[in-house]
Structures are given as structure tokens and as C-alpha cells.
Amino acid sequence: MAASSCIFCQIARSSTSTILLHQDHKVIAFQDINPSAFRHYLVIPIEHIPTVNDLHKRSEDYTLVSHMLNVGQTLLQRDAPQAKEYRFGFHQPPFNSIDHLHLHCLALPFIPRWRELKYSSLGPLGGFVEAGVLLERIKPSF
Ligand SMILES: [Zn+2]
Ligand SMILES: [Zn+2]
């Protein structure tokens, strides 16, 4: 998909009516259009990076994902401080819905309950990777 027709690139350029929860020079955050939990946000890089398969063991990628996670954690701590559990992660191809990297940030419980299957690395599809696991994978060896 060309970046110009990518819906997340359009949101990043503020050419949609999507309300941004966070915006800086690297990333933006907004609500998932079809929430699966009490709070469900997406954090995406402004740069069009298609999927986790495009991230590599280099400090630039590691720093970006750490920053995305940080932004997501800060937003959920602000908006869902009483949540019993949080979950942060990415869908790996072919299980990703949109080919623009996005971090799912969830404050549980899942609504409805069965949606958990989509956001569990132990689910039948195994298509979800938690942010911490991905960070270990792309951690550069200094
Ligand atoms: Zn894009
Ligand atoms: Zn997704």
C-alpha cells in the first residue's frame, strides 16, 4: 500500500477528524475505532513503517518502539488508573489489520471477553507479540 493512501498516514497528517490523544515529532496516539477493552488506544509512528517485520536490531528502531510504549503507558495510566491489567503489543503479519505499524494499548478487562484471543501471544493464532518481547528481539548489542 502506498503511504499516500494509508489511513494511518492520513491520521498522522491530521487530514481526518480523528482526535489525537498525543502528538510529538515521532508518534501520535488515538482511540482504536473498534475498541476491544475498557480503554483501547493505538500509538503509531508518523513515519510509514509497515509491520514489525520492518523493525531491526538497531538503536533507531529500539528507541522508537520504547517511545511508543512509553506514550501508551502514560496515556493509560492517566485515563485508566484503576485497571487491573494493561497489555501492549503488535500483531505480526499476516495477523495485522493495517499495514502501518501500530501499538495496541489495552486497559483490561476485554469487552467482550473473547476479544482477548486477538491480543494474546498464547492465542490459537499466535499472531500477537507483546511490546516487551519485541523490544528484546530488536535490542541492539552495543
Ligand atoms: Zn502509513
Ligand atoms: Zn492491530
- For 52-61, what is the mean pLDDT? 96
Kindly give the interhelix angle for 131-138 and 59-79, rounded to the nearest 10 degrees: 160
At 69 the pLDDT is 98
**Average pLDDT of the chain, as a whole number:** 93
Q: Measured between alpha carbons, how far is 40 from 138 in angstroms, rounded to an integer?
A: 25
Distance (angstroms) between ligand 2 centre and the Cα of 139 equals 22
Q: Write out the residue range of the structural domain in which residue 118 sits.
A: 3-138
Distance (angstroms) between ligand 1 centre and the Cα of 82 equals 33
Task: Select from 78, 82, 1 the least CA-distant residue to 41.
Answer: 78
Distance (angstroms) between ligand 1 centre and the Cα of 83 equals 31
The CATH number given to whatever domain includes residue 80 is 3.30.428.10
Which ligand approaches the C-alpha of residue 10 most closely? 1
Which ligand approaches the C-alpha of residue 100 most closely? 1
Q: What are the tens digits of pLDDT across the range 28-40? A: 999 999 999 999 9
pTM of the model: 0.94
Residue 86 pairs with which residues in a beta bridge?
107
At 53 the pLDDT is 95
Q: Domains in the chain: how many in total?
A: 1
pLDDT surpasses 60 at 1: no
At 142 the pLDDT is 67
Reply yes or no on whether 48 is catalytic.
no
